[in-house]
Structure 1
Amino acid sequence: MRISARAIPAFLGPVVGLLAVAEAYLDVAFAANAVAVWAPGVLLGAGIVLATWFPVAGALTAVACFPLGLLVGAPDIGGAGLIGLIGITAWAGWRLPWRRSLLVLAAAIAAGVVTSLLAGQSVWEGIFQPVILLPGWFLGVLSRTNGERAAELTRLAAALDAERERNAEAAVAAERTRIAREVHDAVAHSVSVITLQLGGLRRQLTDPLHREIVQNLERLGRQSVTEMRGLVGILREETSVSAPSLNRVHELIAEVEAAGLPVRLEVTGSRGEVPRLLDASAYRVLQEALTNVLRHSGGAPTTVTIGYAPSRVTLAVINSPGICSDKSDSGGHGIIGMRERVSLFRGTLRAGPSPDGGFAVHATFPVEVPA
C-alpha cells in the first residue's frame, strides 16, 4: 500500500511532542524546568503537523518554539527540539520551491543560534545547529528535484509514445491512400478499358449466344469496377479521423431527423470486435437506406434496428406506410449500391415492401469468428 508523503509531518509532529515530554521528565538536566522544556516541544510538534497543509505557516510556528522556550525558562533547545527542527527544514525543502524553503532554513538557523547564544550556550552551539540543519534541508530539496525530474521523464515518455503512435497511424494512412490510388488508377482503369472493349465487341457480334456471353462478361466487368471503386472509397474514408462507423449512428440519425424524418433507434446485442471495413460498409448501407426513406417517404416514421451477434451484424430500416417501393431506387443506384456493399462480405440484402404497406431494408453482414 502506497503511503502519501503528507503522512510524514502528520506522524513526525506527535512523535516530537512525545519525545519532548519524555525528555523533560527523564533527563535530570531538565527536571527542574520540565514544563518549560516540554511546552515548546509540544508547540514544535503542532507546527510540524500544521506544515502538512501549510508548509510556511507550520515551519514558522515550529521555529517559534525556541524563543518561547527561552522566555519560559528552558535551559536549552533539547534533543527532541533539534530532531523536530531538522524534520521541519527537510519537509520545507521537499514541499516548497527552493527559494521559499531557503527562507524557512534561514529562519530556523537564526532562531536556533540566537536562542542558544541568549541562553548562555557556547559558540559551538551556534556552529553546530546550522551544520546539522543544512543536510536535512538539502536532502529535502534533492528529493523534490528528483521527483520533478521523474515526473518530467514520465511526461516525456508518454509524449514520445503518443508521437510514435501518431507516426504509425500516419504511415498506415499514407500506405492505405497509396494502395487506394494504385487500385483506382491502375486496376480499375484497366478493367474499365476491358469492359468498354467488350461492349464494342458485343455490338459487332451477330451470333446471339456469343453476344450473351460477351454481355455477361461486360456486366461482370462493370460490377468489378463498381466493387473496386467501393473498396477505394472505403480505403480513403478510413484515412480520415471521422471514418464511417456504426459508432456514429447517433450522429447520422440526428442529421436525418434535422431534415424532417422521425427515427427510432433500437440496438440489440453487445457490440464486439467488428472489422473496420465491415463497420464502414454497414454504416454506408444504413446511410443510403435512410437517405432513400428521406427522399421518398414524405417524412414517414422510421425504425432503425442494429443487431450485434458474435457471427454477424444485422441492419433493418423499416418505415411506416407512405413510401412506394418502385420509387426507392428510381433514377439512382441506392439499392444496387447497398447490395454491392453487402455482397463484398458475402452478406444478404432484402429490400422491398413491408407487410404493413411500408418499405423495409434488411441487411446481414457475416462476421468471421476467430477459431
Structure 2
Amino acid sequence: MRRDLPYALTGLALGVLLLGNAALSPDAAAPGPADVALVLIMVAGLAVCRRFPVLALAVVTAAMLLVHLRVHAGATAAFPVLGTVYLAAWRGHRWAAVLASVGFLAGFLARDVSVAPAGEAGQQLAERTALLLGWFVAANVAGLVAGQRRAYLEQVEQRAVEAERTREEMALRRAGEERLRIARDLHDSLTHSISLIKVQAGIAVHLARKQGEEPSAALLAIQEASAAAMRELRATLDVLRSPADADEVGLDRVAELAERTRSAGVPVRVTVTGQPRGLPSAVDQAGYRVVQEALTNVARHAGAATAQIHLAYAPAQLTVSVTDDGQATPVRPVTPGVGLNGMRERVTGLGGTLHAAARDDGGFAVRATFPLNGPA
C-alpha cells in the first residue's frame, strides 16, 4: 500500500488543480458535488494504477471525460488521463492506451465544438486537437519506449543469471572431473605402494612369530601405519568420488565418531553444553571435521590417553574443543602438520578461530570457535 501512496497523492494534486482551474476560469461552470465525487473517483483510480493499470485507465478516462463534459475544465482534465495512458503503455497494454486516448480526445473535442461560437470553432478545434494529439502521442510513445527498455533490461538480467548458472555448472562439472582424475591417480599409485608395504610388513610379522621371535617395535609400527594409511586413503577416495555423501556429515554424528574411536582403544567422553540447534551446513561439517582430525591425532600421537570432546552452543557462536591427557607438553612444541593446517583453514575460512597447543598440565588441546551471527 505504501507504494500506491505517491500515485494517490499525485491524483489528489491534479484533482485540486483541476477544480481550482474550473472555479477560476470564466469559460467553465462552477464545480458541484458530483464533480468533486468524479475527481475523488479519479484519485482512487490513480491510487490503484500500479496494480491494475487497465482498470485505472478506464476509470480515470471516464471520470475526467465526465468532468470536462459537465464543467468544461479545459486541458487540465487531460493530465490524469495522460499519466494512466503512459503507465498502461509502459506495462504493455498498448491497445488499451490507444483506445483510451482516442476516446478521451473524441469526447473532449466534441464538447469543445458543441459549446464554441461558430466563428471560432474551427480555430479552437485545430489548436486543441494539435495540442492534445501531440500530448497523447507523446504519452503513448514514451510508455512504449519505457516498456521496451524495461523488457530489454529484464532480458539482459535473465541472460546474466543464465550465464552465471552455466558458469557454475561448468565449474562444478570440471571440479568433479578433476576429483575423479585425482582419485584415479591416487588409486593407481599410492594404493598399490601402500598395499605392498602392508603385505610385506604382515608377512615379516608372521614369519617372526612363526619362528618364536617377537617382532620389533618398528616392524609393528610399520604394519599399523600402513593399515591406517590404507583406511585413510580409501576414505579420501570415497570423498573424491562422491563428495555429496561426504557433505552429509555433521556434529549430530559426533557420538558415532566417538564410538569408533573407543573401539580403536582410545577412551572418549562427549560433553554438550547449551541448546543444540540447526547450524549452517558449512559450520556443521567443519565442526565435525575438527573433531575427527583431533581424535585421529590423539590415536596417533598421544599414546595411552583419554580424549574429551566438548560442544558448546551459544546464541552467537559455536565452540568445539577436543582435549587429551597424552604425552604432549609445552616443553616439546608440536610442529603443525597437514591435519592441523587443514583444520585451521576450515575454521578461519568460516570467520572462526582455532587454538591448538599443548596444555600446561600435559596433553594437547584443540579449540575451534565459529561465529553464528554473520555470513560464512
Q: Is the TM value for this pair above 0.5?
A: yes
2:74 aligned with 1:78, yes or no?
Answer: yes
| Corresponding residue for residue 14 of structure 1 | 12
2:184 to 168, 176, 181: 181
Give aligned pairs, total.
288
Tell me which amino acid in the other structure corresponds to 2:112.
Answer: S
Partners of 1:56 and 1:104 within 8 A in 2: no
- 1:300 maps to what in 2? none
2:60 is the counterpart of 1:99 = no
The equivalent residue for 1:338 is none
Q: What code does the residue aligned with 1:134 have?
A: V
**Residues 89 and 105 in structure 1, CA contact (< 8 A), matched pair in contact too:** yes
Which deviations, in whole Å up to 9, do the C-alpha atoms of 1:239-279 show, x marking residues without a partner?
226732216769x9xxxxxxxxxxxx977477686484763
Report the Cα offset of residue 135 of structure 1. Answer: 0.7
**Separation of aligned partners in 2, 1:189 and 1:275:** 34
The residue aligned with 1:34 is 30
CA contact (8 A) 1:12 1:45 kept: no
Pairwise CA RMSD: 4.5
Aligned residues of 2:179 and 2:240 also touching (Cα < 8 A): yes
1:1-371 mapped onto 2 (5 Å cutoff): 4=3, 6-30=4-28, 33-35=29-31, 40=35, 43-44=38-39, 46-53=41-48, 54-65=52-63, 68-69=66-67, 72=70, 74=71, 76-120=72-116, 121-122=121-122, 123-124=125-126, 125-202=128-205, 208=213, 213-237=218-242, 239-240=243-244, 243-246=247-250, 268=274, 274=283, 276=285, 279=288, 312=320, 366=366
Would you say the 8 A contact 1:55–1:96 is kept in 2? no
Shift of the 69–27 alpha-carbon distance from structure 1 to 2, 3 Å rule, reads same
Cα offset, 1:109, TM superposition: 2.7
Aligned to 1:334: none
Deviates more, 1:201-210 or 1:228-237: 201-210
Give the Cα–Cα distance (whole angstroms) in 2 for the partners of residues 187 and 85 of structure 1: 79
Preserved CA contact (<8 Å) 1:66 1:77:
no
Q: Which deviations, in whole Å up to 9, do the C-alpha atoms of 1:278-316 show, x marking residues without a partner?
A: 636969xxxxxxxxxxxxxxxxxxxxx9656866356xx
CA distance in 2, matches of 1:11, 1:156: 37
Would the alpha carbon gap of residues 41 and 83 (structure 1) be closer, same or farther in structure 2, given more than 3 Å must change? farther
Q: 1:280 to 1:266 in 2, by over 3 A?
A: same
List gaps (5 residues or longer) in structure 2. 257-270, 293-309, 323-338, 344-363, 371-376
Q: Percent identity?
A: 17
Counterpart Cα distance in 1 of 2:176 and 2:285 = 14
CA distance, structure 1, for counterparts of residue 140 and residue 86 of structure 2: 4
Q: Give 5+ residue unaligned stretches, structure 1.
A: 253-264, 284-304, 315-343, 348-363
Q: Distance in 2 between matches of 1:248 and 1:174?
A: 31
Q: 1:59, 1:104 within 8 Å by CA — same for their partners in 2? A: yes
Task: State how far apart, in whole Å, the 1-side matches of 2:27 and 2:172 are.
Answer: 75
> What TM-score results when the alignment is normalised by the length of structure 2?
0.60
Tell me, in whole angstroms, the C-alpha distance in 1 between the residues paired with 2:100 and 2:106. Answer: 10
Q: Please give the alpha-carbon distance, in whole angstroms, between the structure 2 residues aligned to 1:311 and 1:68.
A: 73
What is the alpha-carbon distance in structure 1 between the residues aligned to residue 179 and residue 286 of structure 2? 12
Q: Distance in 1 between matches of 2:286 and 2:196?
A: 27
Whether the 8 Å CA contact 1:45–1:84 is kept in 2: the answer is no
CA-to-aligned-CA distance 1:104-163 (integer Å, 9 cap, x gap): 233223332333333334331234322211112222233333333333433333343333
- State the alpha-carbon separation in 1 of the partners of residues 144 and 5 from structure 2: 18
TM-score when scaled to structure 1? 0.60
**2:239–2:245 CA contact under 8 A, matched in 1:** no
Cα deviations by residue, 1:83-118 (Å, 9 ceiling, x for unpaired) = 233223223223452233333233223332333333
Query: What letter matches 1:231 in structure 2?
Result: T
Q: For 2:142 and 2:11, locate their aligned partners in 1 and report how far apart those are by CA, in whole Å.
A: 19
What is the alpha-carbon distance in structure 2 between the residues aligned to residue 89 and residue 313 of structure 1? 67
